[in-house]
Amino acid sequence: MKQILIHEVGPRDGLQAEAGVVPTEVKLDWIRRVADSGVDIVQVGSFVRGDKMPQMADTDDLFRILAKESHRAVLSGLVLNEKGLERALEVGVQLICMGVSASDTHSRKNTGMSTEDATRRIIATALEGKQAGRTVQVSVQSAFGCGFEGAIDEARVMDIVSAYLEAGLTSISLADTAGHAHPGQVRRYVQKVLELDPTVEVTAHIHDTYGLGMASVYAAMEAGAKAIETSFGGLGGCPFTKVAAGNVATEDLVHGLQRTGKRLDIDLATLIGVSKDVARYFGRDLPGCVYKTGAILEKRTESATDEHR
């Protein structure tokens, strides 16, 4: 595996499923700490209507505040439509994320559009974002299965990927929205995308709904995925799927990578501290493991440490 990029999505995917609204100042504290921990990207929020999803109502304000600061991580935002793109451009989002669900049922519940209509609209919006000089990532949601429809035809997923590639969109995320993915399937899908175009930057967004999250993440990395999307404490889950459950925990993945000498540049203690604070704020245990158990600290030789500095 080459160097794996970590895309922290807790401030968006983690918080969007919560019933209560986290105050902006609390979000800022969590975002700042994670953004300075050494992870590569932090997803600050989603540009949706505040009356529809009050948890994300302060996304514009968050970006305006954070844009005045200097952070180690790139800050990303999720966009669902043209209006969302307009807002993202206005507040200077560095990485714009958007996607289409391979499940027609999930697509209609999430966006009010069929998969076919959503694909055309998102590609046009993504190209507009690129023309504005922004980096754009597009995703295939419900790529590995749907809580409403069950199995999703592999060809349907690859048709959306092919449409992205034909439009010149080569940063592509495969999202396990319903948590149905298993390692063999994830490995095969990542390999198939890279067979279509070896230059694609593949990201895997895996949920741990049925306990196969970390195994599927490792399968994605071994198959050639460049980035993994995770959430602090494993918090989150799509509110528009049938069984909303958490993501793979950021600190769990970083801990696993560091045990094999990878991503030693990330401050694991900071990530664990954020997850502890998030759990304390919500007054419950989160799905993640390492923030509760603590990290396994291993003695490393000086030469091995220097190699990863």
pLDDT at 242: 47
pLDDT surpasses 70 at 125: yes
pLDDT tens for residues 51-108? Answer: 989 999 999 999 999 999 999 999 999 999 999 999 999 999 999 999 999 988 888 8
pLDDT surpasses 60 at 10: yes
User: What's the pLDDT band for 17 if we cut at 50, 70, 90?
Assistant: confident
- Range(s) of the domain holding residue 181: 5-307
* CATH number (domain holding residue 268): 3.20.20.70
pLDDT surpasses 90 at 140: yes
pLDDT at 298: 74
Length of the chain (residues): 309
pLDDT surpasses 90 at 41: yes
Give the SS3 label for residue 51.
coil
Give the SS3 label for residue 216.
helix
What is the C-alpha separation between 287 and 8, in angstroms, rounded? 16
pLDDT surpasses 70 at 119: yes
Residue of 55, 57, 59 whose CA lies nearest to 42: 59
pLDDT tens for residues 247-301? Answer: 999 999 999 999 999 999 999 999 999 999 999 999 999 999 999 999 998 766 5
CB under 8 Å to 178, separation ≥6 — which residues? 106, 142, 144, 145, 146, 147, 207, 209, 238, 241, 242, 243
Neighbours of 226 (CB within 10 A): 18
pLDDT tens for residues 196-237? Answer: 999 999 999 999 989 999 999 999 999 999 999 999 999 986
What is the C-alpha separation between 50 and 115, in angstroms, rounded? 24
pLDDT tens for residues 151-199? Answer: 999 999 999 999 999 999 999 999 998 899 999 999 999 999 999 999 9
Cite the active site residues. Answer: 238
Phi-psi region of 44 (alpha: psi -120 to 50; beta: other; left: phi over 0): alpha
What is the C-alpha separation between 123 and 100, in angstroms, rounded? 9
User: What's the pLDDT band for 304 if we cut at 50, 70, 90?
Assistant: very low
Residue of 89, 37, 55 whose CA lies nearest to 251: 37
User: What's the pLDDT band for 309 if we cut at 50, 70, 90?
Assistant: very low
pLDDT surpasses 70 at 307: no
Number of domains, the chain: 1
The predicted model scores a pTM of 0.93
Burial class (CB in 10 A: 0-12, 13-18, 19+), 276: middle
What is the C-alpha separation between 238 and 235, in angstroms, rounded? 11
18-35 as b/e, with b when 16 or more CB fall inside 10 Å? eeeebeeeebbebbbbbb
pLDDT surpasses 70 at 44: yes
Calculate the CA 67 to chain-centre distance.
Answer: 20
